[in-house]
Structure 1
Amino acid sequence: MSEQPDAPKTLLITVTGKDRPGVTSTIFRTLARAGVEVIDLEQIVLRRRLVLGVLVTAPRDWKKLRDQVQDAAESIGMSVEIERGTGDNRTRREGRCHVTVIGSPLPASAVAAMTGRIADSGANIDRIVRMARYPVTAIEFHVSGVPVERLRAILVKEAVRSGIDVAVQPASLLRHSMRLIVMDVDSTLIQGEVIEMIAAHAGCEAEVARVTEAAMRGELDFEQSLRQRVALLKGVPESALEEVYESIQLNPGARTLVRTLRRLGYRFALVSGGFNQITDRIAAELGIHYAQANQLEVVDGHLTGEVIGEVVDRAGKAAALRRFAADVGVPESAVIAIGDGANDLDMLNAAGLGIAYNAKPVVQAAADTAVNVPYLDAIMYLLGISREEIEAADAAAGIVTPAPPV
């Protein structure tokens, strides 16, 4: 007997309803009896509501299977829709990328704007995954059909208008490999600027802060500005460095970021225009593998107002990144750099992924992506790591995470 001319080649089965044990197994027992092949499968649970989508090959008597699936769904209190088709749901290979959207909050208007721009570009959203719902909302879209650079340019502009963050990255194996994280320290890993904290002991904090701000905006040569500021610290007792270290506060999520990625084999480096009397201790405390910073000269227990050796400036940060990458044995494309100031620009450009973290406008404009929420561990969502995975790993290690609001 020949196949009917209108017989479908595939069936898309969508099951919805209140989540309960046994839904998926009930549906698949029915499909198994019909001897169909599974082509694609997705399942999500949202507020205890389950959505199960199954794409299968259509048997000769597809109407009989339709009736059987409907009966099975009704027996467990679920609704079902069955759509006939001919496609096999192949994802387009061209322009495959991950688009991560982060907001605190994430308004529906922003999601509408971002998905609208994706559609306008001619790209297709193949999959949507929630990465986090607290303390920020992070959603990842798997997109295909448009070159990554073109899509990034479109979405970055829309993100600025919508007041949210977006990262557009190529879909590749590199995202799942062991990588090196290179971080700035002042106003990135920690809150505030160490040199200003030291300057408070010399009574010149306001003057130093003014020069620091201009340097971070790129208005002053970094080395010149550093030497100018350090000169104002002459005579400060060395004991002030201990007081500064004890007063340092890490940015929220910093410990979680380092702890989680170290579990996955990542390596970390601190590259700072600050001072190794502070950064080396931070690195030791957090278990960071490499650190490079400037060294304050100390004579007879007091700062001399000079730095020893070459200054770690904008070019020096990029050179340190390359040196650490070579030592770890990873290409620069496998390096993630995080910074906030103009002296971080060469470092961000040298990395495979440069992230402007609560950065100056000139830095946000030049970086691959910007993160403006106050949580450093939000960067892990850009790497495909969800909040649930982070918390599960912490729980296994006996670390208690505060429960999110209901």
Structure 2
Amino acid sequence: MREIVLINITGEDRPGLTAAITGVLAQGGVNILDIGQAVIHDTLSFGILVEIPSTEQASSVLKDILFTAYKLDQQVRFTPVSEEDYQHWVAGQGKKRHIVTLLTRKVTAEQLQRVSSITAQYGLNIDHIDRLSGRMPLDTPADKGKGCIEFSVRGEPADPQALRAEFLSVAQALNVDIAFQEDSLFRRNRRLAVFDMDSTLIEAEVIDELAKAAGVGEQVSEITERAMAGELDFRASFKERLALLKGLDVSVLDSIGASLRLTEGAETLFAELKRLGYKTAILSGGFTYFAKQLQAKLGIDYVFANELEVVDGKVTGVAVEPIVDAQRKADLLKELAHKEGLRLEQTIAVGDGANDLPMLAIAGLGVAFRAKPLVKQSAKQAISTLGLDGVLYLLGFRDRDGQL
């Protein structure tokens, strides 16, 4: 009668251990049903589920494994598994899988406890836990740290919206980001990433900077704030703000462009996306004049933004159609996906304002970046703790995968 046994081996990691253990199993004609291995701080945890052809062989094989492990200074444990339990385990392989991603400046036990408790509460079983972020020195400044833990979970929550709401609540309480997404083929096969510009790729709202130069800074900033929060129609508010810039001398554009700062992580993100073969685009309610500068700096493939009309060296304050508003952004995302021969599931959209919500909603991965509460609640995913390169973690990218 065949025997099914789970073999767990722990101890100091060393070269050749896996070969030695599987060599013993090979001599006993053993079949491998499952296998997994992890090394944390040079300590090995190695599990292997085996089918041994007969009870007589089992005794000999397990004795040889015990002797080999002893020689290698490893601890070993054997757990018998019934055929009924094994078949139940096999039957579970059709269950949906999801990825829960924790992003934080510094990983703490409380963060992991809260995330794992919520997953258990909603009937999700954690299969794997991986650290995607690199090793951080102990004295890393609080605002410079970068931590990411990825949980691979099995099952389907009865109420996905309630699960997301609870993750969002915990994220706000602990000042972390928690993403929850289906672990599908498309997650690892995305090829187009589109971005808002103002307060997403750059740390400013350009129209507010232009308004300051025109002497109407407070008026325009107030309108911008309400528009980004979804309190005002973007299209109408854009025309209203632009009209206030009438007469602004075009000479100020260069100085404002030179003062704009890229958002944390932007250069890393675009360098890696380019290396991975992604097409990238700016879809902005801002101005083409400044978007073109970013295109040159970051190597962006497409730019769609609003034209700043200038006559006789002065801004006219008149909007040039078509205005890139919320619906236009979503339409452009569809057009670019079609042009590149991609499904929408293969696209990423990142933005911070209410006018970004339509494109975030239809993208395969929609990320609200350092966004207002309304936008964070409405978007599929949100990043507020880390920089733009945190988007890479949502793709399963590890720091060690990078070439920067």
Partner of 2:350: 338
Give the TM-score taking structure 1 as reference length.
Answer: 0.89
CA contact (8 A) 2:280 2:301 kept: yes
Q: Tell whether 2:149 aligns with 1:139.
A: yes
**Secondary structure, in 3 states, of the residue corresponding to 2:156?**
coil
- The answer to whether the 8 Å contact 1:97/1:148 transfers is no
**RMSD over aligned Cα atoms:** 2.0
Structure 1 residue 94 corresponds to structure 2 residue 95: yes
Equivalent residue number for residue 120 of structure 1: 121
| Aligned-residue offset at 1:11 | 1.7
Q: Distance in 2 between matches of 1:277 and 1:269?
A: 15
Mind listing any 5+ residue stretches in structure 1 that lack a counterpart? 400-406
The 1:301/1:213 distance shift into structure 2, 3 A limit, reads same
Mapping 1:248-327, distance limit 5 Å: 248-327=260-339
SS in 2 for 1:92: helix
Query: Which letter does structure 1 place at the counterpart of 2:5?
Result: L
142-151 or 316-325, larger mean C-alpha shift: 142-151
Indicate conservation of the 8 Å contact 2:370/2:382, yes or no.
yes
Residue matched to 1:14: 8
Deviation at 1:102, TM superposition (A): 1.5
Tell me if 1:27 matches 2:21: yes
The C-alpha deviation readout for 1:303-333, integer Å capped at 9, x for no partner, is: 1222322221111111111111111111222
Match of 2:58 among 58, 62, 68: 62
The offset of 1:270, in angstroms, is 0.7
For 1:319, give the aligned amino acid. D
Q: Of the candidates 382, 388, 391, which is equivalent to residue 394 of structure 2?
A: 382
Cα displacement string for residues 232-254 of structure 1 (whole angstroms, at most 9, x for unaligned residues)? 22232222221122212111111
- The C-alpha deviation readout for 1:351-398, integer Å capped at 9, x for no partner, is 1221111110110111111111231111111111111112xxx1xxxx
Q: Which position in structure 1 is the counterpart of 2:108?
A: 107
Stretch moving more, 283-292 or 269-278: 283-292
C-alpha change, 1:276 and 1:331, in structure 2 (3 Å) is: same
Gaps of 5+ in 2: 137-144
1:38 corresponds to 2:32: yes
Match 1:166 to one of 170, 178, 183: 178
Pair 1:73-2:85 in alignment: no
What's the counterpart of residue 235 of structure 2? 223
SS of structure 2 residue aligned to 1:226: helix
Query: Residue 182 of structure 1 contacts residue 268 of structure 1 at CA under 8 Å; is this kept in 2?
Result: yes
- What is the distance in 2 between the residues matched to 1:199 and 1:58? 76
Q: Choose which of 370, 378, 385 in structure 1 pairs with 2:382.
A: 370
Using the TM superposition, give the Cα deviation of residue 284 of structure 1 relative to its aligned residue in structure 2, in angstroms. 2.6
CA distance in 2, matches of 1:20, 1:26: 11
Moved more, 358-367 or 165-174: 165-174
CA distance in 2, matches of 1:57, 1:245: 67
Q: Deviations over 1:53-103 (max 9, x none)?
A: 112213423232222112212212222222111326535322221221222
The one-letter amino acid of 1:132's match is S
Shift of 1:153: 4.8
Alignment partners' CA distance in 2, 1:262 and 1:148: 38
The CA distance in 2 between the partners of 1:341 and 1:129, in whole Å, is 32
SS of the equivalent of 1:346 reads helix
Q: After superposing the two structures, state which structure 1 stretch, 193-202 or 378-387, moved more.
A: 193-202
Offset at residue 147 of structure 1 (A): 4.5
In structure 2, do the counterparts of structure 1 residues 212 and 337 end up closer, same or farther at CA, with 3 Å as the change threshold? same
Measured in 1, the distance between the counterparts of 2:306 and 2:5 equals: 65
Match of 1:196 in 2: 208
